[in-house]
Amino acid sequence: QDGNVIVEVERDAPYEPALSDTISQVMTEMMQAVVDQGTGRRLASQFGLNNDIAGKTGTTQSHADGWFIGYTPTLVGGVRVGASSPEVHFRSLSLGQGSNMALPIFGKFMASLKKDKDYKDLLAESFEEPMDTVMAMIDCSLYVTDDEYIEMQERDRFQDLLDKIFGRTGEDTSFENS
């Protein structure tokens, strides 16, 4: 806060990424879905954050701790709300879940950055477009109707029956390959 360097780390070895580009893009796409459609969707509706944000909410057992970790292409932030003793906890899950206790703190902080002319550029960047192979990996329907689900279960049971009858094992067990 006062400009004093607390620690300076020098690297002997060159930097090595912790994740491959593919895994990094898959994780970012999944965590953007948390913000766009899941437990983090209030960042847009309640706090006006329509920029690229990825994140994850979390709640511990007995709703003793809640957290939200979020990131943009240029900024990472995390909020944990809880006590050092697990005996201290919120009375209900609705009060104690990360999306209700930690996400609002993150949202207010990010909204204040968005309003501040000195920091709003931190939220202006967009995530890079994922590779086609990444999009193919995560391409799945968001919703499956009850009829489609029943049809999938029946198809799986039929496939299992064929496998038992014909004694197929290993990877080539599909009906189409018979």
Query: What is the structure's pLDDT at 111?
Result: 96
- Alpha carbons 39 and 104: distance in angstroms, whole number: 12
Asked whether 77 and 123 are in contact (CB, 8 A), the reply is no
Query: What is the structure's pLDDT at 161?
Result: 77
DSSP-derived secondary structure for 131-156: PHHHHHHH---S---HHHHHHHHHHH
Query: What is the structure's pLDDT at 171?
Result: 46
155 contact partners, CB below 8 Å, separation of at least 6: none
The CA distances from residue 153 to 142, 158, 165, 173, in Å, are: 18, 9, 18, 16
Confidence of residue 129 (pLDDT cuts 50, 70, 90): very high
The pTM score is 0.69
